[in-house]
Amino acid sequence: AQTVTQSQPEMSVQEAETVTLSCTYDTSESDYYLFWYKQPPSRQMILVIRQEAYKQQNATENRFSVNFQKAAKSFSLKISDSQLGDAAMYFCAYRRGWNTGNQFYFGTGTSLTVIP
């Protein structure tokens, strides 16, 4: 079974600084997708960034980037120039590849606090 582990229940960062959230996963598959989701307090969970396992290049979306280490099964999220609006729960998620069902597996989340 696939498992996703987020070992940091809570993290904090000073406004304008950089923070990295960790995620590891366990799989025997070679084709899969990885995601980071953001869930602000009492608000909708939204997709932050995604990575296809077959792509070696790390995904980037504005201030958000990932460090994808396929051999190590690691998928960390880096937030640069942190803003107050980045404060939220962040969930790492895994999905198996093509035509193997759509179920996502989520980690337990990391609560990010941004200090003004």
Partner 1 sequence: EADIYQTPRYLVIGTGKKITLECSQTMGHDKMYWYQQDPGMELHLIHYSYGVNSTEKGDLSSESTVSRIRTEHFPLTLESARPSHTSQYLCASSEGTGHYGYTFGSGTRLTVV
Nearer to partner 1, 28 or 44 (CB): 44
Question: Using CB under 8 A as the criterion, which residues of the chain lie in contact with partner 1 when the complex forms?
Answer: 4, 9, 33, 35, 37, 42-47, 50, 52, 91, 93, 95, 98, 102-109
Strand 88-96 with 110-115, pairing:
antiparallel
What's the closest the beta carbon of residue 20 comes to partner 1, in angstroms? 20
Nearer to partner 1, 79 or 92 (CB): 92
